[in-house]
Amino acid sequence: MKIKIKLLIGLIIITTSSYAQFAIKGKLIDTQTKLPVQNVNINIDGQSEGSTSAKDGTFIFTTQESNVFINFSAIGYKKKQIHLQSIKRDISLGEILLEAQPYSLDEITINAGLRNDEELPITISTVNARVIENNLSNRPLPLITQTIPGVFSVRDGGGSGDAKLSIRGFQQESVSLLLNGIPINGEENGLVYWSNWLGLSNSAAEIQIQKGPGLANASVNSIGGSINIITQNAEKEKSGSIGLTLSDYGNINTTVSLNSGLLNNGWNTSLMLGFGRGPGYVDATYVKSWSYFFTASKQFNNKHKISITLIGAPQIHGQRTIKLSQEEVDKNGIKFNKDWGGLNGRMKNASENFYHKPFLNINHEYKIDNKNILSTSAYIALGTGGGRWSESFNYAPSIFSYRNSSGQLDWDAVYDNNANHGGSYTLENGETVSGYSLNAQTSYLASHVQTGLIVNFEHQINSSLKFQSGIHYRYFNSFLREEINDLMGGNFFIEDYSWSLAGVAGRNQIKTVGDIIRVDNNSIINFANAYAQLLLDNKKFNAHVSVNANNNWYKRVDRFNYIDNTESEGVSIPGVNLRTGILYKLNKSNSLFVNGAYISRAPYFKFVFGNYTNVVVKDLENEKVKTLEAGYELKWRLVNAKLSAYYISRQNVSLLSNEYVQLEDNSQTRAMINGLDA
């Protein structure tokens, strides 16, 4: 009888244990294609056993726990985690959406300092392709960041693609912009001309915004933050699509996308073409553009993969560069534009931008073994184009001084004055001439070549510690010149060379359409940097420490100010970045973090040659930056919040006013200031 009781108790225990096994099932679906996702790794925190999804995306597994964190991961998709509490029965999770991640994202993680970890000691925000598609419409790409705390973006003048962006109050010169891990800020000044990248709004798969110095190693000017734009990958399946966007003010954009799928030779290719045109939201900010995006990738074996990306967006658009007073806005409305007027029954804008900058990137990833990866990126960009400009002879009033009763430019008055002013001028050679233009319209042309190589190495020391190092070399050569394109009623324009250090020096002062005046120079910049970084990631801590040493070699060639010796002396300026941060995980939902940086940033080329000559500015020092940030992060169910406070100290800051904008009259000027502390 006693033995029977023990057997009965044993049966009860076994039965109770079997009922404690709860089945969890569901189906994994691609967010965009709505197709099933197979071979997804599924596991529960703290358990070694796991499961994978079937060909139709379904999965099922059992657990004895009533409180679990379920992790989903697959190549080509972002990681996802679901938290289940108080499990008392079998559960069906239904359809679970997985968001596709660009193939290139893993490849350029080392290059760009991109991090996909959800727990980092820095402040990160991401914007995916669906958000861009649904919310950007016909606006410039930076405006998609308007809802992100600490980021300020706004249209700049109202022209297509004309925009400016700042992070934590720092202007674009102190914000790094990277395209697939490669810096694309202007080499001479750190600026970003967003109209050169109109096609990015159609081809961007994800935008990652890192606030503060962050982890971007390929660039050295990320004081306010960095923006990493990742382009779309070649689709896995053969497909095609056509898109049409129409604004209420008449701008229309058409896109065509074709995807080859996986070809027999192992390549995946995608091509996207776009065409846009319209009158613009602001008066006379018309646009005509087309864009192209091509990407191809191939996995040669389990060690080698290559990807190729080509992107470009030739465009021409009207601008508004002359600022409006509040009185003018109240009288004429927010769309009013003083940069244009009518001529012979047609619209003529004095401010127009035209540019094309194709960008080619070839990336190779070599997985040496399970612990070592070597990544190499080669890139080249060729920029051609410029902006419509104007010049006045001998301190004559600018074209913006001629206004009609509506406040628009009076082009007829400009042409009439050039043809009939009756003045004469004695040239340097003694000849007296007349019939010259007091005002001439020009094109301010800015061509350049930019090419570079980034090589990075990653070593997984153990399960929680990783070492990264790399080098980056970049060559840049720009060709700036101002070319006459319209004499506006006169027979020729006189170049008096009053702004040239060499004076006339025997040069021909009579200039006609196609001749170069005022500006004719090259900016040559060689840049190299090397970095090393340690990354820690375990159950309690996530930390990083990195050092980045760099050097800039500057040289200027000026054919306007100099006749014989046109080259400047070579200028070499080193810089250094030190960055660190640590995050402590209090528990699954709460974390504390702190990060800091010291940056010694070399002055931009525009400050080194701030006099617009080959004379180097004296007593120019590196900008010194110290940053400190501390914060708290909460992740609980659907809540994901981060609260932080930061301190930034800047010394030896340089500023240049009225840069690359037309001045309305002769009372305005440009000025450079250096040595400021903030």
Summarised one tens digit per residue, pLDDT across range 274-318 is 999 999 999 999 999 999 999 999 988 888 999 999 999 999 999
Q: Is 3 helix (H, G, I), strand (E, B) or coil?
A: helix
Confidence of residue 218 (pLDDT cuts 50, 70, 90): low
Which residue stretches of 136-275 are H helix? 200-203
Residue 218: name the closest of 488, 452, 562, 559 by CA: 452
Residue 315: name the closest of 344, 294, 285 by CA: 285
**Is the pLDDT confidence value at 332 over 60?**
yes
Residues 542-564: what's their mean pLDDT? 95
By percentage, how much of the chain surpasses pLDDT 70?
90
Burial class of 586 by CB neighbour count within 10 A (0 to 12, 13 to 18, 19+): exposed
Comparison of pLDDT for 6 and 301, the residue scoring more: 301
**Is the pLDDT confidence value at 3 over 60?**
no
**Is the pLDDT confidence value at 496 over 90?**
yes
Examine domains 2-98 and 104-231 and report if their fold is the same.
Answer: no
Q: How much is the pLDDT for 130?
A: 76
DSSP per residue, 214-239:
TT--S-S--SSEEEEEEEPPPPSS-E
Confidence of residue 4 (pLDDT cuts 50, 70, 90): very low
Residues 16-31: what's their mean pLDDT? 74
Residues 481-502: what's their mean pLDDT? 96
Segment among 166-175, 425-434, 464-473, 649-658 with least mean pLDDT? 649-658
Q: How much is the pLDDT for 326?
A: 94
Comparison of pLDDT for 47 and 478, the residue scoring more: 478
Q: How much is the pLDDT for 664?
A: 53
Structure token pair of residue 167 = 């992070």
Q: How much is the pLDDT for 632?
A: 94
Q: Which numeric CATH code is attached to 2-98? A: 2.60.40.10
Residues 448-458: what's their mean pLDDT? 95
Summarised one tens digit per residue, pLDDT across range 31-64 is 877 888 887 888 888 776 678 888 889 999 888 8
Between CA 409 and CA 662 the distance in angstroms is: 14
**Is the pLDDT confidence value at 9 over 60?**
no
> Which of the listed CATH numbers 2.170.130.10, 1.10.1740.110, 3.30.750.24, 3.40.50.720 matches domain 104-231?
2.170.130.10
Report pTM: 0.83
Report the Cα–Cα distance between both ends of the chain, in Å, rounded.
89
Confidence of residue 642 (pLDDT cuts 50, 70, 90): confident
Query: 388 CB contacts (<8 Å, ≥6 apart)?
Result: 349, 350, 351, 352, 353, 441, 442, 443, 444, 485
**Is the pLDDT confidence value at 602 over 80?**
yes
Q: How much is the pLDDT for 508?
A: 97
Q: How much is the pLDDT for 106?
A: 44
Between CA 476 and CA 472 the distance in angstroms is: 13
Summarised one tens digit per residue, pLDDT across range 400-410 is 999 999 999 99
Residue 146: name the closest of 129, 163, 159, 158 by CA: 163
**Is the pLDDT confidence value at 656 over 50?**
yes
Residue 539: name the closest of 148, 60, 119, 242 by CA: 119
**Is the pLDDT confidence value at 107 over 50?**
no
User: Domain-by-domain residue ranges, the chain?
Assistant: 2-98, 104-231, 239-676
Residue 10 · residue 76 · CB < 8 Å:
no
Q: Is 458 helix (H, G, I), strand (E, B) or coil?
A: strand
Paired with 481 in beta bridges are 445, 520
Between CA 261 and CA 86 the distance in angstroms is: 44
**Is the pLDDT confidence value at 15 over 70?**
no
Report the top-level CATH class of 239-676. Answer: mainly beta
**Is the pLDDT confidence value at 666 over 60?**
no
